[in-house]
Amino acid sequence: MKHTQIISRSTQQGAALVVGLMLLVVITVLAISGMNTATTELALVRNDQAHEDAFQAAESGIETALSQGQFATVGATSMTQIPSSHQNIATTIQFEDSTMVPDKAFSLGVGSGIAAYHFLATSQADLFRDPGNTTDRDSSATHSQAFYVVGPEMSAL
């Protein structure tokens, strides 16, 4: 019995070592690939978050401008906000047209001296990862919202 064990040991020539090393190489390649994929996905998520932040900042610019209530039928009303050194929000409210209020939309109806003044609010938000330097992580978003104000009919508000 001892003789059989000696023979089997002498016939082995390091196959287990070679297979083990090959498995380590495969596992290492898979780990490196997984790390590269995770790094790429992290960059995608960071860019998506920056775009979402810019979109929300543009929304907030419109909401702030509308809450000011500064609507003019002559020219445009502009407002700039700089919440931080990483953000810049510019909002413009432009008069578009005035129309008579139709019967079904307002109880006083056409000819009552009531008009609808139509405006377009546009907000541009820019977010900077490194203020003063242009990077591939900077983001911007533009958002527009149309609205109208019902008021007395006159040539200018």
pLDDT at position 8, please? 56
Tell me how far apart the alpha carbons of residues 32 and 38 are, in angstroms, rounded to a whole number: 10
Question: In sequence order, what are the residues at sequence separation of 6 or more whose Cβ sits closer than 8 angstroms to the Cβ of residue 120?
Answer: 93, 94, 96, 144, 145, 146
Give the pLDDT score at 151: 81
pTM of structure: 0.66
What is the predicted pLDDT for the residue at 155?
62
pLDDT one digit per residue (tens) for the chain, 157 residues: 555 555 555 566 778 888 999 999 999 999 999 999 999 998 889 888 889 999 999 999 999 988 988 888 888 888 888 888 888 999 999 999 888 776 555 555 555 677 888 999 999 999 888 777 777 778 999 999 999 888 887 765 5
